[in-house]
Structure 1
Amino acid sequence: MEIRKLNSLRALAALIVFFTHFSDVTNWLGGTLGGGAGAYGVMLFFLLSGFLMSYLYLHKDFNQTTVMHYFLARVGRVLPLYLLVVFSSYLLSSSGNDSLYNIPDTNTLLGHLFFIYGESVLWSIPPEIQFYFIFTIFWALAKNRAGYIYLSIVAVMILLFLTNFPRIYGDINGIPFNEFSVLRTLPFFFVGAILGMQYRSLNIPAYLQKHGFLLTLFLIPLMYPEFSPVATADKSRMWLSYEVLLVMSTVFFCTVFLVPDHNVLLANRFGDFIGKISYSLYLLHLPIITKVNQWQLPVEIKLLLSFGLSVIAAYLSYRFFEKPIALAIRKMAPSKRVPITAN
């Protein structure tokens, strides 16, 4: 069963990142939409990822066939464009051209290919890939030992809090790594996974399902550094604040569980379209914004051009590159079911 609202949430996440980067690069509106606020869009992406993994797979048997289908689906969705962008960035950077992302040497390239380091917006892909492997542990426990999923999530989140999210980064024989970026994202994946586990069984009373819960989305801009009423360091810590996690989780829960499925602002063709191309929009928009900003044009025209060109590039990538390759990779999945022992 498709949850159409998730398309619009994915679109919102991509748009938050786009407008944040546009504000940072061009100083649009005095940079008030920037200041790292794109993190809230990425948080939504990670909540969505954890939710969808649980919703789509935890009710299925854990065996060789389903696990293979799972990994091929994830690989087909994420890796083709990521690898294209990474290798293109490396080749361009090696020739002195940083029109994509700065990957200047082989060691930095290997950091991206091993999913332990990411330049610019590419930083978010290694946590996503590493969570895919963590999720298989949850999946193995889901049928007979689901309680261990909750226990392990709570234990890890308490440990991260008590250790203040360890800064684990550096290099191995010159290859950069940054596991801090993974650790700080885990709580968002975990909360999404827990909510996904509950979606099929949680019976929300009809009197609680109101369109007005959509207003919780306005809590997101209230957390922007320029707009936040919070006066403590939490307004700038973002990823390291469990208060931010609470607010983002509340927004996600209210939107997915309490807003009616037929809400016109969440179930519409624009949300469907931007949601489908959101991944390519996320990876490709920043180089386009940077290039457009070099042109001597009014900032409003730069905004229209940046958004229009980003959407066109994302659509072309999705339609003619990502989707065909993803379908081809999915067809590689085996059909014979071989049980896996999950003890």
Structure 2
Amino acid sequence: MTAGQSLVEERVADASPASDHQLPRHFPALDGARGVAAMAVVVSHCANAGYFPHVLGEGTGQMGVLLFFLLSGFLMAFLYGPRAFTREQVLRYATHRIARVFPLFYLVIALSLVVGAGGPIRFFDLSGGEWVWPVALVTGTSVLWTIPVEVQYYLVFVLIWAAAKRFPLGVWIAAGFAAQLLALALLRLTVRGNQFLPYWFHAFFLGTIAGYLLHRHARAFLKAARAPGLQGLGWIILLLVPLSLPELRRMAGFPMLPNFIDPVTFGMPVLVFLAALGGLGPFRYLAWPVFTQLGAVSYAIYLLHKPVMWTLEPWLSGRVPDLALGLAIVALSILMAAVSTYGFERPVQMILNGHGARLSRRFA
């Protein structure tokens, strides 16, 4: 992403009964936020290629990825946190995650190996053994790196889920951040690059904490979200979004940290996530169908927009204005994502979930 997100799209309606009767079973604005996150990645990559204003690139996409990770962590906790930690439930969780993420991810890898990166239709360059790392869910080239990170957090969440049943909230939260710091220290000593879970764990983890807290304090949260002051805060957050763009701050001479720990680059996705969760001010419009439909195909948009870009560039670059090429990449990415989601991913997902349900019942 991204994550992804992780890139997670499982309906809250599948969750066990909420711990508070006032707690919604579904947050449409979060679906819309997922769509916005996907579009932030696409627009950023188009800007980096020169098709949109450069200020929209150079880090804007990673803000979208951070939002993906926050949403992924939240939905895992919201969906599964209240459930009993049993072998049946863990199998069901694993099946849903595998069915949601693996089919398109491994299809894209297969197409990259078969079609390659040099023909009229271009996918990711996985030559020279580069395919091993994404297949093994270690890391990946280009946007593929976020999916291993997402899947690695799926495994970590099982530990969090178990710990949350046995230990107080503050204990497992402190343990989670301590583990991240230890893993980061070890990683910095051994591996270069930041495309590994310890660098992004806090985004997933904060979303997970929000999911658990919402179940505990739904009444207070929903009451506060309806307050006029917080509704007005939503408009302020929206106005601050353009000012938070990394490249704009870089051009203005502000000091910058790496995206995963920069307080603004990471802080703005957190604010957008909370504003969408509470439906604050303009963020309630993320529940409109135009946004939720983007959210429904966001995973495929994320994975397919780079192949779309690389395929269109040789045909259209220099023949049409740069802006037109950028808009064509956006439009075709959405179209291909819709075909992928409804023509491939959803049918495969239903089959895998059906097999998983039968398997989990055997262990009931």
Normalising by the smaller structure, the TM-score range is: 0.7 to 0.9
Deviation for aligned residue 1:169: 3.2
Give the counterpart letter for 2:140 in structure 1: G
For residue 329 of structure 1, give the secondary structure of its aligned residue in structure 2.
Answer: helix
Deviation for aligned residue 1:305: 1.6
From 203, 216, 219, the equivalent of 1:188 is 203
Structure with greater helix share of residues: 2
Give the counterpart letter for 2:200 in structure 1: T
- Structure 1 133/243 Cα, relative in aligned 2: closer, same or farther at 3 Å? same
Q: Please state if 1:115 is matched with 2:152.
A: no
From 17, 23, 29, the equivalent of 2:47 is 23
Q: Partner of 2:273 in structure 1?
A: 252
Aligned partners of 1:211, 1:233: CA distance in 2, in Å? Answer: 29
- Unpaired runs of at least 5, structure 2: 1-24
Q: Partner of 1:198 in structure 2?
A: 213
Q: Partner of 2:343 in structure 1?
A: 320
1:145-184 to 2 correspondence within 5 Å? 145-147=167-169, 148-159=171-182, 163=185, 166=188, 168-169=190-191, 180-184=195-199
Q: Please state if 1:101 is matched with 2:128.
A: no
Deviation for aligned residue 1:152: 1.4
Aligned partners of 1:185, 1:279: CA distance in 2, in Å? Answer: 18
Q: Partner of 1:330 in structure 2?
A: 353
Q: Partner of 1:269 in structure 2?
A: 289
Deviation for aligned residue 1:37: 2.1
Aligned partners of 2:343, 2:208: CA distance in 1, in Å? Answer: 31
Give the counterpart letter for 1:282 in structure 2: Y
Deviation for aligned residue 1:272: 1.2
Q: Partner of 1:224 in structure 2?
A: 245
From 64, 85, 88, the equivalent of 1:65 is 88
Report if aligned partners of 2:275, 2:283 keep a CA contact under 8 Å in 1.
no
From 297, 301, 304, the equivalent of 1:281 is 301
Give the TM-score normalised by structure 1: 0.86
Deviation for aligned residue 1:214: 4.6
Report if aligned partners of 1:47, 1:189 keep a CA contact under 8 Å in 2.
yes
Deviation for aligned residue 1:94: 8.3
- Structure 1 301/49 Cα, relative in aligned 2: closer, same or farther at 3 Å? same
Q: Partner of 1:13 in structure 2?
A: 37
Aligned partners of 1:51, 1:298: CA distance in 2, in Å? Answer: 41
1:306-317 to 2 correspondence within 5 Å? 306-317=329-340
From 105, 116, 122, the equivalent of 1:82 is 105
Q: Partner of 2:156 in structure 1?
A: 134
- Structure 1 134/11 Cα, relative in aligned 2: closer, same or farther at 3 Å? same
Give the counterpart letter for 2:361 in structure 1: K
Give the counterpart letter for 1:73 in structure 2: H
- Unpaired runs of at least 5, structure 1: 171-177
Report if aligned partners of 1:10, 1:278 keep a CA contact under 8 Å in 2.
yes
Cα deviations by residue, 1:186-226 (Å, 9 ceiling, x for unpaired): 11011111111112232123425516415414444323233
Q: Partner of 1:54 in structure 2?
A: 77
Deviation for aligned residue 1:231: 1.5
Aligned partners of 1:103, 1:252: CA distance in 2, in Å? Answer: 34
Aligned partners of 1:223, 1:164: CA distance in 2, in Å? Answer: 31
Report if aligned partners of 1:63, 1:338 keep a CA contact under 8 Å in 2.
no
Report if aligned partners of 1:76, 1:329 keep a CA contact under 8 Å in 2.
yes
Give the counterpart letter for 1:189 in structure 2: F
For residue 343 of structure 2, give the secondary structure of its aligned residue in structure 1.
Answer: helix
CA RMSD of aligned residues (A): 2.6
Deviation for aligned residue 1:314: 0.2
Report if aligned partners of 2:120, 2:311 keep a CA contact under 8 Å in 1.
no
Aligned partners of 1:307, 1:120: CA distance in 2, in Å? Answer: 18
From 155, 160, 166, the equivalent of 1:144 is 166
- Structure 1 218/189 Cα, relative in aligned 2: closer, same or farther at 3 Å? farther
Identity %: 27
Aligned partners of 1:18, 1:126: CA distance in 2, in Å? Answer: 20
For residue 26 of structure 1, give the secondary structure of its aligned residue in structure 2.
Answer: coil
Deviation for aligned residue 1:74: 0.6
Deviation for aligned residue 1:92: 2.4
Q: Please state if 1:290 is matched with 2:313.
A: no
- Structure 1 278/104 Cα, relative in aligned 2: closer, same or farther at 3 Å? same
Give the counterpart letter for 1:118 in structure 2: G
- Structure 1 273/94 Cα, relative in aligned 2: closer, same or farther at 3 Å? closer
